[in-house]
Structure 1
Amino acid sequence: MPHVDPTADPLARAVTENAGRLYRLAYSYLKNEQDAMDVVQEAACRLLKNRGSVAPDRAFAWLWRVTVNASLDLLRRRRRESVGLPDAAEGREDSYQRLYLLDALQQLDEKSRAIVILRFFEDKPLAEIAGIMGMNLSTVKGRLYASLRVLRRYFEDREAEEWPD
């Protein structure tokens, strides 16, 4: 593949400017650094391959959706392949705050998790999230508020476990 100057090509610029955000998104699903990097690379390659059908102003939304789908595909493949106990090399780092947050996000379905990540980790407005997710604004709002209730219950339960009466 020929070298593409990211400053001259708006699609390549979308990839370089959003690589960190896409990595965090993939990592939130996969919990594995290498897999997350592979998914971001796959999303970038797909964007550049499909450059004729992706408008530059829709590149971020397109990348976001491809990253979520590629992450979910990898998780499905992993589930089919996994037999027995998980490999110790895929364990999480020992950060209790990070563990609680990752565990909490796992309580949500894929679409709700993506909405929460877009809203609170990427500071996207709800209207933009609706466009990225291909959903109605009221659906995004409903999913977000339902997700916040699930997360609140999750953290209340964890607090009750740590600080029993």
Structure 2
Amino acid sequence: MNDKTEKLLIRFIMENKENVYRLAFSYVKNAENALDIVQDSIHKALSSLGTLKSEGSMKSWFYRIVVNTSLDFLRKQKKIQLMDDKTLELHSPIIEDAYHDIDLEKALEELPHTFRTVVILRYFEDLKIEEIAEVMNENISTVKTRLYQALRKLRIKMNNELLEEVK
């Protein structure tokens, strides 16, 4: 590509930095790791700018890089994880909850990655179904199905938790 495309990418990143950070944070739940993922994603995007098919698909192209970088990070963490989660929580700094509804956050965390990604991209990043399909490199019908299934699982989980609170 050319300097024009590089400048467009930089402008896109600057205008959407909060959304990109929030997307990375939704996977790793840690501010420093999310910043590292954003930085790695920017580096990957700049070095692979030639793979961008059109400037119109820059958003979905870059979001796909962020999602893949986040998933790669999580895979590496699973291999490296030496402490159990409770020990890690005791020693980690307290981070303000990004969600207003703790039950929703817990229910989202229990969803498989593909379902969680669809919900986050649709409702937290406000992407259209077509854009989500591009980001995830899936068919539109697959994305719609996953979104429907994810919402159904969330609804069931949230209703069960509500019933437990009433008891």
Q: 1:5 to 1:139 in 2, by over 3 A?
A: closer
1:95-110 alignment, distance < 5 Å? 97-110=100-113
Q: Is the 8 A contact 1:107 1:150 kept in 2?
A: no
User: For residues 58 and 74 of structure 1, what CA distance do their matches in structure 2 show?
Assistant: 24
User: For residues 52 and 39 of structure 1, what CA distance do their matches in structure 2 show?
Assistant: 21
Superposition deviation, residue 70 in structure 1: 1.2
Taking structure 1 as the reference length, the TM-score comes to 0.85
What's the Cα RMSD here? 2.4
Q: 1:149 aligns with which of 140, 149, 152?
A: 152
Q: Residue type of the partner of 1:61?
A: S
Q: 1:148 to 1:60 in 2, by over 3 A?
A: same
Query: Mean Cα displacement is larger for which, 127-136 or 96-105?
Result: 96-105
In structure 1, the gaps of 5 or more residues are none
Among all aligned residue pairs of Structure 1 and Structure 2, give the percentage whose two residues are the same amino acid: 38
Q: 1:17 aligns with which of 15, 18, 28?
A: 15
- Residues 71-100 of structure 1 show CA distances to partners (whole Å, capped at 9, x for unaligned) of 111111111111232323065536883432
User: For residues 70 and 38 of structure 2, what CA distance do their matches in structure 1 show?
Assistant: 9
User: For residues 28 and 152 of structure 1, what CA distance do their matches in structure 2 show?
Assistant: 20
Residue equivalent to 1:73: 72
Q: Residue type of the partner of 1:75?
A: L
Superposition deviation, residue 155 in structure 1: 0.7
Q: 1:95 to 1:121 in 2, by over 3 A?
A: closer
1:13-162 alignment, distance < 5 Å? 13-54=11-52, 55-86=54-85, 87=88, 88-89=91-92, 92-93=95-96, 97-162=100-165
Q: 1:98 to 1:91 in 2, by over 3 A?
A: farther
Q: Secondary structure at the match of 2:100?
A: helix
User: For residues 39 and 30 of structure 1, what CA distance do their matches in structure 2 show?
Assistant: 9
Q: Is the 8 A contact 1:32 1:90 kept in 2?
A: no
User: For residues 70 and 94 of structure 2, what CA distance do their matches in structure 1 show?
Assistant: 18
Superposition deviation, residue 34 in structure 1: 0.7
In structure 2, the gaps of 5 or more residues are none
Q: Secondary structure at the match of 1:160?
A: helix
